[in-house]
A and B are shown apart, each in its own frame.
Chain A
Amino acid sequence: MNTHLDINFTKTVLDNGLEVILYKDNALPLVSVNIWYRVGSANEKPGKTGFAHLFEHMMFQGSKHVEKEMHFKYIQEAGGSLNGSTSIDRTNYYETLPGNSLQLALWLESDRMGFLLDGLTQKKLDNQKDVVMNERRQRYDNQPYGLAWEILFKNLFKPDFPYHWPTIGWMTDIENYNLDDVREFFRTYYSPNNASLVIAGDINEKKALENVDKYFRSIEPVNSIPGIKYTDPSLNEDINVVHEDNVQLPRVYIAWISDHIFGQDDAPLDILSDILGSSKNSRLYKKLVHEEQLVQDISCFQYSAKLTGMFIIVATIKPGSEIPEVEKIIFNEIEKLISEGVEENEFQRVINGIKSSFIYSLQNLEQLANQINSYNFFLKKDDPFNYDLKRYNKVRMEDIEKIAFKYLKKPRVKLQIIPQK
Chain B
Amino acid sequence: MEEFRKQKPQNESVIRFISPEINKVILRDKSSLYLVNKNNLPIVQIENVLNSGSSYDPAGKEGLAYLAAMLLDEGAGKFSALELNNEFEKMGTSFSISADKDEIHISALTLSEYAERTIELISLVLNEPAFTEADFIREREKLLTRILQIKDNPSLLASGLFNKVLYNNSVYENPLYGSKQSVEGITLDDVKNFYNNNIMLNEFSVIVVGSQSDKNYESLINSSIIHGIDKKAQRELKVTVDAEFSPVIFLNDKANSPQTEIRIGNCTNRRPHPDYFAKHVLNSILGGQFSSRINLNLREDKGYTYGASSSFNYDKLSGEFVVSTSVQSEVTADAIREILKELNNIKKGVTDEELEFSKSYLIKKFPSHFETYSQISSNISTLITHELQENYFENYLDNLLSVQKDDVINAAQKYIMPDKCIILLVGNKRLILEKLKASFNYPVIELNRDGDRIELHQ
User: What are the interface flags for A344-371 relative to B under an 8 Å C-beta threshold, 1 for contact and 0 otherwise?
Assistant: 0100110011111101101111000000
State which residues 108-167 of A face B: CB under 8 Å.
110-111, 115, 126-131, 133-135, 137-139, 141-144
CA distance A336 to B118 in the complex (A): 33
Stretch of A38-46, A73-81, A235-243, A390-398 contacting B (4+ beta carbons < 8 Å)? A73-81
Q: Interface size of B by Cβ–Cβ distance < 8 Å?
A: 78
Interface size on A, as a range, is 35 or more
Contact partner of B368 (CB less than 8 A), chosen from A30, A126, A290, A357, is A30
B94 within 8 A of A: yes
Inside 8 A of B10's CB, which chain A residues have their CB? 103
Report whether B4 and A214 are in contact in the complex, using a CB–CB cutoff of 8 Å. Answer: yes
Stretch of B47-55, B79-87, B433-441 contacting A (4+ beta carbons < 8 Å)? B79-87
CB distance from A142 to the nearest CB of B (A): 5
Inside 8 A of B117's CB, which chain A residues have their CB? none
Inside 8 A of B81's CB, which chain A residues have their CB? 280, 290
State which residues 1-22 of B face A: CB under 8 Å.
2, 4-6, 8-17
CA distance A293 to B81 in the complex (A): 14
Inside 8 A of A247's CB, which chain B residues have their CB? 152
Count how many pairs of residues, one from A and one from B, have CB atoms less than 8 Å apart in the complex.
205
Interface residues of A, dominant DSSP: helix
State which residues 299-346 of B face A: CB under 8 Å.
299-306, 326-328
Stretch of A92-100, A176-184, A192-200 contacting B (4+ beta carbons < 8 Å)? A92-100
Select from chain B the residue with minimum beta-carbon distance to A207.
B12
Query: A131-B306, A280-B81 are contacts. A107–B8 as well, Cβ < 8 Å?
Result: yes
CA distance A139 to B305 in the complex (A): 11
Report whether B15 and A296 are in contact in the complex, using a CB–CB cutoff of 8 Å. Answer: no
CA distance A197 to B5 in the complex (A): 19
Contact partner of A142 (CB less than 8 A), chosen from B86, B109, B154, B361, is B154
Query: A72-B290, A144-B152, A249-B145 are contacts. A364–B371 as well, Cβ < 8 Å?
Result: yes
Report whether B90 and A345 are in contact in the complex, using a CB–CB cutoff of 8 Å. Answer: yes
CB distance from B8 to the nearest CB of A (A): 6
Report whether B141 and A318 are in contact in the complex, using a CB–CB cutoff of 8 Å. Answer: yes
Select from chain A the residue with minimum beta-carbon distance to B90.
A349
Inside 8 A of B77's CB, which chain A residues have their CB? none
B40 within 8 A of A: yes
Report whether B290 and A76 are in contact in the complex, using a CB–CB cutoff of 8 Å. Answer: yes
Select from chain A the residue with minimum beta-carbon distance to B368.
A30
Query: A98-B364, A363-B372 are contacts. A281–B92 as well, Cβ < 8 Å?
Result: no
Select from chain B the residue with minimum beta-carbon distance to A25.
B40
CB distance from A126 to the nearest CB of B (A): 8
B93 within 8 A of A: yes
Report whether A77 and B306 are in contact in the complex, using a CB–CB cutoff of 8 Å. Answer: no
Greatest chain A CB density within 10 A among B16, B92, B290, B357 is at B92
CA distance A74 to B9 in the complex (A): 10
CB distance from A141 to the nearest CB of B (A): 5
Select from chain B the residue with minimum beta-carbon distance to A82.
B290
Report whether B368 and A359 are in contact in the complex, using a CB–CB cutoff of 8 Å. Answer: no
Report whether B12 and A100 are in contact in the complex, using a CB–CB cutoff of 8 Å. Answer: yes
B148 within 8 A of A: yes
CA distance A281 to B87 in the complex (A): 10
Report whether B153 and A143 are in contact in the complex, using a CB–CB cutoff of 8 Å. Answer: yes
Query: Can you offer 17 A-B residue contacts whose CB atoms are under 8 A?
Result: A1-B111, A76-B361, A77-B360, A78-B364, A100-B11, A104-B8, A127-B301, A127-B303, A130-B302, A130-B303, A134-B326, A144-B153, A218-B2, A345-B86, A352-B92, A357-B92, A362-B41
Given contacts A76-B291, A99-B15, could you give 16 more A-B pairs where the C-beta distance is less than 8 Å? A1-B111, A72-B290, A77-B360, A103-B10, A130-B304, A134-B304, A134-B306, A137-B326, A138-B326, A248-B148, A279-B85, A281-B86, A293-B138, A318-B145, A319-B148, A363-B43
